[in-house]
Amino acid sequence: MEGISNFLEFFTLEGLFKKIFQVDMFGTITDLLSDNLFSPASNFGPILNLINTLFDMIRPVAVMLLFVYFMVSLVDRVASETFTWEQLWRLFCMLLATKLLIDHGLTLIENLYGIGLSLTNSFSGLRAPGSDFAITDQQITELLDQIKSQMGWLPIRFLMEILLWVMLLIPALISWLMKLSVSVIVYSRIIEVYLRAVFMPAAISDVFHGGLQSTGGRYIKSFFAVCLQGPMIIIISIIYSQLSVILTQSYGQSGDFFAFYTILMAIQASAIMLMFKSLSLTKEVLGAG
């Protein structure tokens, strides 16, 4: 019965406003992004065993690629007219360093992910339960009363409420779409983190040749960018929530419902697009684009 009641509440004006302003994106984001994907105690612990097995299967291939790249680079250096023994010594040192990096790739992955997880938890703490980021039921009632009084030119109250319901339906559906989009983005990020972790050894096998400018170096940056996508999504959600509150307060002073309606949809659509763009933003920050 409670499920039916919640479903029917959506079709009321109060229900639409709650859907617009009280959509709990933070619950979905915080619960999923605050979970340590590389901890056996996490909700994804069973998947971690599979990832470790796949990582161990890829590692011999990575070592083979490492020595192939090393031999090609060695032949190229020795055949060069500017060859020096210092270059040879440096090449062997980089070979050893890369081999150690491949053998301890999971440690690198866990540390990079831990940085992103720490930032996610820190940013999530900016919105404490009961803070002014949420709009209360009383504020929703006051806002509805102001809107109805402004639309007093309609002669019939029933028609007025129908018009209001139609006008509020679109932003309410956008709010629902936003919550769905957040879930899609977060679960896609989880899958991408695991995929990049599995192939990390093969990707970094040429780090010794070009450092962070090599293919392996860019791969490490891209993996770190995925780790930082969580904090980026949290920041977008916080800004969206704050803008929604500011918009409501501004409408309470101006009383211009149509301006309020237009800006609200613009804020919601912008938040959705930025969430989908969050990975490219973090890649741009790290120069991994």
In the numeric block, the tokens 């960018």 are attached to 225
- Across 222-245, b (16+ Cβ under 10 Å) vs e yields bbbbbbbbbbbbbbbbbebbebbb
Quote the pTM value. Answer: 0.78
Place 11 in a pLDDT band, splitting at 50, 70 and 90. Answer: low
Domain positions in the chain: 14-286
Query: Mean pLDDT: which of 71-80, 160-169, 198-207 is highest?
Result: 198-207
- Judged against a pLDDT cut of 80, whether residue 221 lies above it is answered with yes
Place 132 in a pLDDT band, splitting at 50, 70 and 90. Answer: very low
Residue 57 has a pLDDT of 93
Tell which residue, 50, 55, 38, has the closest CA to residue 105: 55
Please state, in angstroms and rounded to a whole number, the distance separating the CA atoms of residues 240 and 258. Answer: 20
Residue 156: phi and psi, rounded to 5, are -120, 125
HSE on the CB side for 10, CA within 13 Å? Answer: 14
For 147-190, what is each residue's pLDDT tens digit?
A: 666 665 556 666 767 777 777 777 777 777 777 887 888 889 99
Tell which residue, 42, 31, 32, 56, has the closest CA to residue 190: 32
